[in-house]
Structure 1
Amino acid sequence: MSRCYNFSPGPAALPESVLEQARDEMLDWRGSGMSVMEMSHRGKDFTAISEKAEADFRQLMQIPDNYKVLFMQGGATAQTAMVPMNLLRSGQSADYIDTGIWAQKAIKEANKLGANIRIAATSESDNFMKVPSFDTWECDSDAAYLHYVSNETIAGVGFNWIPETGGVPLVCDMSSDIMSRPIDVSKFGVIYGGAQKNIGPAGITLAVVRDDLIGHADQAIPSVMDYAVAAKSGSMYNTPPTYSWYLAGLVFEWALAKGGLAAIDALNQKKAAKLYDYIDNSSFYSNVVSPESRSLMNVTFLLADDSLESEFIKQAVDNQLVNLNGHRLLGGMRASIYNAMPEAGVDALIAFMKEFERAKV
């Protein structure tokens, strides 16, 4: 069997070595006589798996001791409701930065809860093709938190810096660029993200929450959405998605073996630079995102003649380059080059793009 290069924005490619290890352990996890997906989540075998996964994730992200790591469900979508439920107290407001589709989903969810939400900055006037300049932000120093999305997968727009909040807790949906580079976790109050980009398969969600932000939720909050309940129960108030947790743990081991996030960042920078450089020097392809706001994870591009898009996709698939079509809302093309995408995959894509351009110009 020959594996393709999978440029899907999510669920995304996983490291082959992780898939091979999961295959080898499918029927019998390390002499237990059973698959991980058959284990009791409270048994000693899965306890060992879950504890090691958390320890490895903490090491990768350099998470301080005064933060809880919560393995939860519902994806980032559930977190967009859980954040205001857990952090907003009566009479408080929260600031949100509007950078596109995913930021707007978070804003919409908070509004549905009746939360007092302020849009502190937006890049709407730039068609959401850049991060709003910090000097345009109008933040409230008394806000309960400031929320932003670090990487908008649809347009390929990303923050390449961490906002300074002056003491207001910073909340970040980091679903699509978590673990792609080192960050200073201490600058954040909450980091959350669905797993299906850089962490593992869909089904589990990571939330990193500073201790002082836990335990202030309204008593009406459902127990499964209360950070305090999750923290007290070790993320096992109800049965967690055990197999997704196990696979995430294997990805953490893989990332550590690669040299940690500094080494992964260096490779990600190299991959993205290669692809953007080719696009920028082509008269056939173009990228319309402001260069300072370009995502390192999701490289979007247009063809000079959009009538060629379906042919481009078909020929790409024939060359084992799959899931390059852009989001239905924007069209065009999108190459998601998360951690598990090898440099050879980017090289293969560029070679195909060159040949396609040569044949059409």
Structure 2
Amino acid sequence: MSRKFNFCAGPAALPEEVLTQAAAEMLDYGKAGLSIMEMSHRSSEIVAIAEKAERDFRELLDISDDYSVLFVQGGASSQFSAVPLNLLGGKTSADYVNTGQWSKKAIKEAQRFGQVNVVASSEDTNFTTIPAFDSWQLDKDAAYLHYTPNETIGGVEFLWTPEVDVPLVADMSSTILSRPIDVNQFGVIYAGAQKNIGPAGLTIVIVRKDLLGKSSEHCPTMLDYKTAADNESMYNTPPTYGLYLAGLVFQWLKDQGGLSAMAEINRRKATKLYGFIDASSFYANPVELMSRSTMNVPFTLANADMDKQFLAEADQLGLLNLKGHRSVGGMRASIYNAVPEAAIDALIDFMKEFESRA
């Protein structure tokens, strides 16, 4: 079987070693005579998998005991509601930064539960920049500040962490585990799994324990962080197979040398691709240099009429899912942890050859 290179923004590529192990264990896990997907979430096997996954995840990110790690369902989009429902407390407003489509969705949902102060926005640059911190109109009485460190659609990324006096909340769906971070700078971090963690369906929430138990009286039980924390993420049946695969990914990351090693690999991949695009007169990236995403690289062709041909030929060569988001067009290469450097080399070789015929 020949594996192709998957540049999808999500669900994204998974490490081949992880898929190979999962395939080998699909029908009979640990000689139990059944698949993990068939096991009770209360079984000793699933409990052991969940406990190891949390230990490895905490080790990778150096998460202290001051934080709870929650494995929940609903995707990052469910957290757009969960965050205000859990964190507004007795306050009526929260600060949000608008740097793209996912920020906008988080803002829209939060407006259902309280006042949203958009303290900074890069919409005037068509979301190709990160607003300078000294321009932010912060509210010292806000319940929290929410931002999206990486916007998968526009390909912009914060290469720094905002320092604020209120709990900092981050949607890290597309950057988590791609490099080391200081978790202690945050009140809440949440991430959908389908980019750097595992398959779609699992969501991870890291929440500082002093923020638990402050949810709105209208907060649904399944969105209450304290419910998940008090029940070790098993108040109801969790996404057991997704959790199992996430655990395999965590072990794979440790085997690669951890997040410092992954950061170096990811920097090398991104630098190589951006370097080629910048040196070309046929391809272009619209994002300002200091705001470019390491994970999602959008680019355009000099002649948009050739987009369909480019995508068709790329597909034939096994370079999949390079079409840009419908809201921005062009191309997008998502180069998450599991996308090997060989995929970047193959993409650049094709882009060179395509340009020579354009």
Smaller-chain TM-score range? over 0.9
Partners of 2:244 and 2:67 in 1: CA distance: 21
- 1:117 to partner: Cα distance: 1.0
User: Partners in 1 of 2:153 and 2:166 — Cα distance?
Assistant: 28
Task: Indicate whether 1:160 and 2:155 are aligned.
Answer: no
| 2:357 counterpart residue number | 359
What is the CA-CA distance between 1:34 and the residue it aligns to? 1.2
Secondary structure of the residue that 1:112 maps to in structure 2?
A: coil
- 1:80 is matched with 80
Q: Report deviation, 1:91.
A: 3.5
Residue 294 of structure 1: how far off its partner (Å)? 0.2
1:133 maps to 132
Deviations 1:278-329 (A, max 9, x none): 0000000000101100000000000000000000000001111000000011
User: Which residue of structure 2 lines up, in the alignment, with residue 283 of structure 1?
Assistant: 281
Partner of 1:11: 11
Deviation, 1:26, is 0.3
1:21-32 equivalences under 5 Å are 21-32=21-32
Equivalent residue for 1:98? Answer: 98
Letter in 1 for 2:211: L
TM-score by length of 2: 0.99
- String of CA shifts for 1:148-188, please: whole Å, max 9, x gaps: 001100010111110110x3100000000110000000000
- Structure 2 unaligned segments of length 5 or more: list them: none
Q: Matches of 1:218 and 1:6 in 2, distance apart? A: 41
| Runs of 4+, deviation exceeding 3 Å | none
Letter aligned with residue 286 of structure 1: A
Q: Can you list the C-alpha shifts for 1:192-247, whole angstroms capped at 9, x where unaligned?
A: 01000000000100000000111001222111110000000000111111000000
Alignment correspondent of 1:35:
35
Residue in 1 that maps onto 2:146 = 147
Q: Distance in 2 between matches of 1:92 and 1:309?
A: 47
The whole-number CA distance in structure 2 between the counterparts of 1:273 and 1:91 is 43
Show structure 1 runs of 5+ residues with no match: none
Q: Distance in 2 between matches of 1:150 and 1:220?
A: 29
Please show how residues 1-361 of structure 1 align to structure 2 within 5 Å.
1-113=1-113, 115-165=114-164, 167-360=165-358
- Separation (CA, whole Å) in 2 of partners of 1:164 and 1:91: 21
Deviation at residue 125 of structure 1 after TM alignment: 1.5
Q: Judge which range, 266-275 or 138-147, deviates more.
A: 138-147
Comparing 25-34 with 225-234, greater Cα deviation is found at: 25-34
CA distance in 1, matches of 2:177, 2:322: 23
Q: Summarize deviations over 1:33-73 as a string: whole Å, max 9, x none.
A: 11110110011110000000000000001111100000001
Per-residue CA shift, 1:234-287, capped at 9, x if unaligned? Answer: 001111110000000000000000000000000000000000000000000000
Does the aligned pair in 1 maintain the 2:91–2:143 contact within 8 Å?
no
Distance in 2 (alpha carbons) for counterparts of 1:313 and 1:228: 46
State how many pairs are aligned. Answer: 358
Identity %: 59
User: Which amino acid is the alignment partner of residue 124 of structure 1?
Assistant: E
Instruction: Give distance in 2, aligned partners of 1:35 and 1:89.
Output: 42
Deviations 1:58-115, CA, capped at 9 Å, x for gaps: 00011111000000010110001000000002343110000010000000001123x1
